[in-house]
Amino acid sequence: MSELRNLACPLPNDALSECVLLAHGEGGAAMRRLITERIVPRLNPGGSTLEDATVLPPIVGLPVLTTDAFVVSPLFFPGGDIGSLCVFGTVNDLAVRGAEPLWLTLSLILEEGLPFAILDRILDSIATAARRCGVSVVAGDTKVVPRGAADGVFVTTTGLGRLVEPAPSGPLTIQEGDLLLVSGPIGRHGLAVLSAREQLGFDPPPESDCASLLDVVRALRGTGVRPRALRDATRGGVTAVLHEWSRDCGRTLVVDETQIPLTADVRGACELLGLDPLHIANEGTLLAAVAPTDAEPALAAMQSTCGCERAAIIGSVRSRGVVPVVVRRGMSREQPLLEPSGAPLPRIC
């Protein structure tokens, strides 16, 4: 946030055109101008305002609801920013549950002194990502907090969609013999944020996989395959998802490190920093558990999707042993894959 901290807020007589003031959150003329001149034209073109609540048309199918908060630091990183991240993250939570996203609500917590140039860039990114996903921002709220009470911008979203069959049956249904698939190279988002935050100087810098998972989920649905489970591997990475699934299904999940796709920059950075890519967050990569007979069509559907050409089968499910999750590393014996402890890389989403 050095770009924010180094910029002094102008005097009140010209501040309305330069940066956010506490007055922009007080419900008066300044707030009305902020909403009508900056937020609505970007997020709801042609609309009169974004209401606190909106009346939605009826939908065909079961409604699916999710909510999320985004506090990523820095606000901008290679491959994305907090704007695209809040849309894709919300849409992906709906997609892996088997839903087609329809609407979003958006809550902005703005820090006093935030330059409007930064806010406009974030709002434009939200609008672009929403159009790409075919969703509408239909309601929202804006608050302003004093300097130091936030880190530029915090965002909270709610997403509403409709369930489309065949939807995943859920991790409770994972069976012995099922296979585990990943939709692409892992670890890209966490390393992109870490590199940008700590200014590690990698050349080229790692780039986040921040993107919508709608296309790959639709491709899976188009095969008629009903996955046992789908999950976007965000905080805690692949490891966290595997442990959650093992707990839910009561079986041991085994992954083969040699089959897990990695980009060269992620592999090199992890070796240099002593990190395990299985623990690192993703924002556009999913895990799937499928029946053995569904593995090949599911893999083909993934690999036919733009950006998922390196999708792979990375493991399988066996009866419950002593260890919930096991990794086979190279030529060595199998070893436990432990969950990350603490927060080795906080604020990645």
- What are the boundaries of each domain within the chain? 2-163, 171-336
If you average pLDDT over residues 15-23, what whole number do you get? Answer: 79
Distance in angstroms (rounded) separating the CA atoms of residues 132 and 145? 31
CA angle 204, 210, 211 (to 5 degrees): 125
Q: Is the pTM of this model over 0.75?
A: yes
Q: Which residues does 322 contact at the CB level (< 8 Å), separation at least 6? A: none
Mean pLDDT across the chain: 92
Distance in angstroms (rounded) separating the CA atoms of residues 117 and 97? 36
| CATH architecture of the domain covering 171-336 | Alpha-Beta Complex (3.90)
Is a pLDDT exceeding 50 seen at residue 127? yes
Asked if 325 and 252 count as a contact pair (C-beta separation under 8 A), the reply is yes
| CATH architecture of the domain covering 2-163 | 2-Layer Sandwich (3.30)
Is a pLDDT exceeding 90 seen at residue 162? yes
Residue 14's pLDDT band (cuts 50, 70, 90) = very low
Residue entry with tokens 């049956």: 169
pLDDT score at 5: 45
pLDDT score at 24: 93
pLDDT score at 317: 98
Over the stretch 226-266, which tens digit does the pLDDT of each residue have? 999 999 999 999 999 999 999 999 999 999 999 999 999 99
Instruction: Give the H or E element holding residue 81.
Output: strand 80-81
pLDDT score at 52: 82
Is a pLDDT exceeding 80 seen at residue 295? yes
If you average pLDDT over residues 91-107, what whole number do you get? Answer: 98
Percent of the chain whose predicted confidence (pLDDT) is above 70: 94
If you average pLDDT over residues 283-298, what whole number do you get? Answer: 98
Is a pLDDT exceeding 70 seen at residue 56? yes
Residue 47's pLDDT band (cuts 50, 70, 90) = low
Distance in angstroms (rounded) separating the CA atoms of residues 107 and 88? 15
Residue 16 vs residue 179, higher pLDDT: 179
Is a pLDDT exceeding 60 seen at residue 8? no
Residue 345's pLDDT band (cuts 50, 70, 90) = confident
